[in-house]
Structure 1
Amino acid sequence: MSRLELRHVRKAFGGLDVLADISLSVGAGEFVSILGPSGAGKSTLFQLLTGAEHGEGEMLFDGARLDDHGRHFAFMPQRDALMPWRRILDNTTLGLEVQGMRRQAARACVAPLFAEFGLAGFERHFPAQLSGGMRQRAALLRTVVQQRDMLLLDEPFGALDALTRTAMQRWLEQMWRHHRWTALLITHDVREAVFLSDRIYVLSARPASIVREIKVPFSRPRCLGGEHARQASALEAEILDIILNPQSIQRTRP
């Protein structure tokens, strides 16, 4: 059974239709990405899931109507959103403290994970003292330590330079294989989606609907060279053609 299932979800702002008909699912331990042109409403979909906005249609979690949004999702926005006046240790505990956990208990939960996230020795640093990649790892640590059922990742590496972004994608794929988080990723980066995902949903332009659902057929761990790279490039080209030439694509799910 899918952990998350959306059925014919729609959203309009005033007279502007943003999401026309979105039906998708995410299984337990699955990494799913949503791709689409800029302005298609991808971030609006996350606003519906987190309860920041309300729309039409059905949203189910573990087969039940999605009502308590905060209980299920840990959300990582496009920017790291680290508070510059708090040290990294206290930035990573913020989500737990908001839930009501005392600071010392929150620190005890977070501290053992610093080495795994490549942040050991930087607990007492401020965000401005860290590289962009380290800041994003701190933001992801703050997200996953909340131990929610599912991660919502909204273009988490979009602000990074190309080399750092590639390194972070490889790191996230390794971390996902180790922890098997259930994750839904929004991205504009076709290569990122192919590298990280089990399945990809491609959206049309606004008002958005699902143009194609694509299963990524590559085994894990993913690599960046050899035959895998050639196969991945072919799939990337296919997806780009779907996004750039939507008029030639029949809107059906395989």
Structure 2
Amino acid sequence: MSAARLELRHLHKRFGDLDVLADISLSVQPGEFVSILGPSGAGKSTIFKLLTGGLRPDGGEIFFDGVALAEETQPFAFMPQRDALMPWRRIIDNTTLGLEVQGMARQQARERVAPLFAEFGLDGFEQHYPAQLSGGMRQRAALLRTVVQDRAMLLLDEPFGALDALTRSGMQRWLETMWEHHNWTALLITHDVREAVFLSDRIYVLTERPARVLREITVPLPRPRRDLASPQASAIEADLLETLLNPPSET
């Protein structure tokens, strides 16, 4: 039985005549932060849809804590690319939305979420509307809405891709701190090589569609990670960029 929290074994997915995933095998250990890098259109988001039940694989297997993932089982808290905050709901009510969808009463959901506002840098903004918050604060609210559901694992689909470079850098540092503090298990999709190096314990690099795992790269940098200009970090980033820009040809 696998010791991995999540394990994908030889996943295949096609849409009509279009092969999207040819053979995807990867794993995430409990408490680990793993990233998936690959060209645009390689099927990274398709992997998340397979995990969350939006799609069914055409082949292969998905295991969670050593057991085949059932359709009715949902151990994942999913954060999409956009914050998807509802503009007519105050921040306190946006952050409770996932709990309410699960059937929790609004007042009970508020009582669970409220103590976390300070930790997420949102203290005093409970009654604000999304349009009154900065991009970084909106993403913090979206992450709070995600993690308060108390799922076993986080799926993060380019959560900082829409932010400016300075805000994105700050959010990456904040996410690393929160991940370590809460001992989350996380799987991240990103196009940002530096972001993957900064956050990850391991990185899977996918080929172009139909996607296969081209490489698995360990990131042996100490935490907290503050110096991505170090020779070791720069070497890992350069290696990843070379793999993405000049992938080895298949034999």
**Shorter-chain TM-score: what band?**
over 0.9
Q: Does 1:106 align with 2:87?
A: no
Supply the AA of the counterpart residue of 1:134.
M
Q: Does 1:9 align with 2:11?
A: yes
Q: In structure 1, how many angstroms separate the alpha carbons of the residues matched to 2:79 and 2:120?
A: 15
Q: In structure 2, how many angstroms separate the alpha carbons of the residues matched to 1:136 and 1:229?
A: 29
- Structure-2-length-normalised TM-score: 0.96
Supply the AA of the counterpart residue of 2:51.
L
Q: How far is 1:71 from its partner? A: 2.7
- Deviation string, structure 1 residues 10-32 (Cα, Å, up to 9, x no partner): 00000000000000000000000
Alignment of 1:166-181 (within 5 A): 166-181=169-184
Supply the AA of the counterpart residue of 1:148.
R
Supply the AA of the counterpart residue of 1:84.
P
Q: Does 1:202 align with 2:215?
A: no
Aligned pair partner of 2:192 in 173, 189, 212? 189
Q: In structure 1, how many angstroms separate the alpha carbons of the residues matched to 2:72 and 2:32?
A: 19
- Structure-1-length-normalised TM-score: 0.95
Q: In structure 2, how many angstroms separate the alpha carbons of the residues matched to 1:221 and 1:70?
A: 34
Identical counterparts, % of pairs? 75
Supply the AA of the counterpart residue of 2:230.
A
Q: Secondary structure at the match of 1:243?
A: helix
State the partner residue of 2:245: 244
State the partner residue of 2:82: 79
CA RMSD for the aligned pairs?
Answer: 1.2
Q: How far is 1:236 from its partner? A: 0.5
Aligned pair partner of 2:54 in 49, 52, 55? 52
Any unmatched runs of 5+ in structure 1? none
Aligned length: 248
- Deviation string, structure 1 residues 81-133 (Cα, Å, up to 9, x no partner): 00000000000000000000000000000000000000000000000000000
Any unmatched runs of 5+ in structure 2? none
Q: 1:146 to 1:191 in 2, by over 3 A?
A: same
Contact 2:52–2:74 at 8 Å: present in 1 too? no
- Deviation string, structure 1 residues 118-176 (Cα, Å, up to 9, x no partner): 00000000000000000000000000000000000000000000000000000000111
Contact 1:50–1:69 at 8 Å: present in 2 too? no
Q: Secondary structure at the match of 1:246?
A: coil
State the partner residue of 1:41: 43
Alignment of 1:88-167 (within 5 A): 88-167=91-170
